[in-house]
Structure 1
């Protein structure tokens, strides 16, 4: 589990592509705001939301699931309830993601353990938008 500022900064700087699980078209939702920020920082972001598959969120085509992405994302950013994280982590492992990031309030030790055992880096109970700003990381690219 990544916890130090140095570890988190390194992950955010080596990441280029991010799948946002639970991306919302509603601009008042945290997932939308985080996605907008990540895009502005230069990340390539893939919104994942089965209810909006084929639509656009912030100009990005929405996918129904991680399995539908053409390539493995570097990071899977999870906006789901803690008890719903397990299958998402399993899909991230199967897809070949390099890391899983569970948003603030999202904690699932069992799923985190599976991800780490499969070689993925794991962050829990944090927000990449907050961490990029707090650590004063420059835009990607």
Structure 2
């Protein structure tokens, strides 16, 4: 799983993202990452079945509901949810997944690699975008 540095640079160049685990709670990274990506010019969709909107933007219940294809998924959910999410990501043909700290464990990473996904982990997209 050693291509993380290369994958990180490539993913940050991609402009169409989904943030799975977006939230209305301004103190949480699900909110902060979504807002920062939008402010940096990314086309970003929030995904969380618990919400219908965040700051007036539509939030989708699943990746399948998105109105267009995306290039990368930022995962901000617990490892159990992330593990199930990988099947949907693979079925939709999405190849790039960024796991936020706390969103993965060894089984999640192994499954992602087994599905042929390009992944980033051990890095926070929020911190990377602030550099």
Which aligned runs of 4 or more in structure 1 are off by greater than 4 angstroms?
none
- 1:71/1:113 CA distance change after superposition, 3 Å: farther
- How far apart, CA to CA, are the structure 2 residues paired with 1:99 and 1:64? 20
Q: 1:99 — aligned with what?
A: 96
- Name the SS of the counterpart of 1:8 in structure 2: helix
1:23-53 residue CA offsets vs partner (Å, 9 max, x unmatched):
1012121110111100011111111111113
Tell me by how many angstroms 1:83 deviates. 2.5
Give the CA deviation at 1:120. Answer: 2.1
Q: Which residue of 2 aligns with 1:50?
A: 49
Counting only pairs closer than 5 Å after superposition, residues 70-109 of structure 1 correspond to structure 2 as 70-109=67-106
110-119 or 34-43, larger mean C-alpha shift = 110-119
CA RMSD of aligned residues (A): 1.8
Count, aligned residues: 130
Q: Shift of the alpha carbon at 1:68?
A: 1.0
Tell me the distance in 1 between the aligned counterparts of 2:121 and 2:101.
7
CA deviation after TM superposition for structure 1 residue 108, in Å: 2.7
TM-score by length of 2: 0.87
Q: Structure 1, unaligned stretches of length 5 or more?
A: 135-141
Unaligned runs of 5+ in 2: none
Asked if 1:133 corresponds to 2:118, the answer is: no
Q: Is the 8 A contact 2:76 2:100 kept in 1?
A: yes
Aligned to 1:114: 111
Kindly provide the CA deviation profile for residues 35-87 of structure 1, in whole angstroms up to 9, marking residues without a partner as x.
Answer: 1100011111111111113xx21342110111111233211111111222111
